[in-house]
Amino acid sequence: MISQGPQARVLLTPSPGTPGEGWGEGSSAARGGLRSRQKPHPTLSRITGRGKIIPILLILALSCAHLLAQTKPATAPSVPEYSRSEAIYGRKDGTALTMDVIAPKAKHNGAGVIIVVSGGWFSSHDAITPPFIETFGGELLRRGYTVFAVVHGSQPRYAINEILPDISRSVRFIRAHAPEYEVDPKRIAICGGSAGGHLSLMQATSPIAANPKSPDPVERESASVEAAAAFFPPTDFLNYGKEGENALGRGALAPFKAAFDFREIDPKTKAFVQITDEKRMEDIGRAISPVYHVSTSSAPTLLIHGEADTLVPIQQSQIFLAKMQEAKIPCKLIPKPAAGHGWANMQGDMSAVGDWFDEHLRP
DSSP at 38: S
**pLDDT digits (tens), the chain, 363 positions:** 334 444 343 332 233 333 333 444 333 333 332 233 345 555 454 333 343 433 433 433 444 444 444 445 555 678 899 999 999 999 999 999 999 999 999 989 999 999 999 999 999 999 999 999 999 999 999 999 999 999 999 999 999 999 999 999 999 999 999 999 999 999 999 999 999 999 999 999 999 999 999 999 999 999 999 999 999 999 999 999 999 999 999 999 999 999 999 999 999 999 999 999 999 999 999 999 999 999 999 999 999 999 999 999 999 999 999 999 999 999 999 999 999 999 998 999 999 999 999 999 999
40/47 Cα distance (integer angstroms): 10
pLDDT for 41 equals: 56
Residue type, 233: P
pLDDT for 78 equals: 83
Please report, for residues 47, 67, 167, the alpha-carbon distance to residue 43 in angstroms, rounded to integers and kept in the order given.
14, 36, 16
pLDDT for 196 equals: 98
Q: What is the pLDDT of residues 131-153, one digit of tens each?
A: 999 999 999 999 999 999 999 99
Assign residue 94 a region (left: φ > 0; alpha: ψ between -120 and 50; beta: otherwise): left
Q: 1 by DSSP, 3-state: which?
A: coil
129/18 Cα distance (integer angstroms): 7
Picking from 249, 246, 243, 199, the residue whose alpha carbon sits closest to that of residue 223 is 199
pLDDT for 60 equals: 39
218/224 Cα distance (integer angstroms): 13
Burial (0-12, 13-18, 19+ Cβ within 10 Å), 269: exposed
Is CATH 1.10.8.60 the classification given to domain 55-360? no
Please report, for residues 30, 120, 336, the alpha-carbon distance to residue 309 in angstroms, rounded to integers and kept in the order given.
34, 15, 10
pLDDT for 151 equals: 98
298/313 Cα distance (integer angstroms): 23
Residue ranges per structural domain of the chain: 55-360
DSSP at 4: S
10/1 Cα distance (integer angstroms): 11
Q: What is the pLDDT of residues 64-80, one digit of tens each?
A: 444 444 445 555 678 89
Cis bond before residue 47 (omega within 30° of 0): yes
pLDDT for 42 equals: 52
pLDDT for 76 equals: 63
**Could you write out the DSSP letters of every residue in 286-326?**
HHT-GGGG--TTSPPEEEEEETT-SSS-THHHHHHHHHHHH
Burial (0-12, 13-18, 19+ Cβ within 10 Å), 207: buried
Picking from 335, 342, 35, the residue whose alpha carbon sits closest to that of residue 158 is 35
Please report, for residues 118, 119, 337, the alpha-carbon distance to residue 64 in angstroms, rounded to integers and kept in the order given.
12, 9, 18
pLDDT for 77 equals: 75
pLDDT for 75 equals: 59
Cβ atoms within 10 Å, residue 178: 20
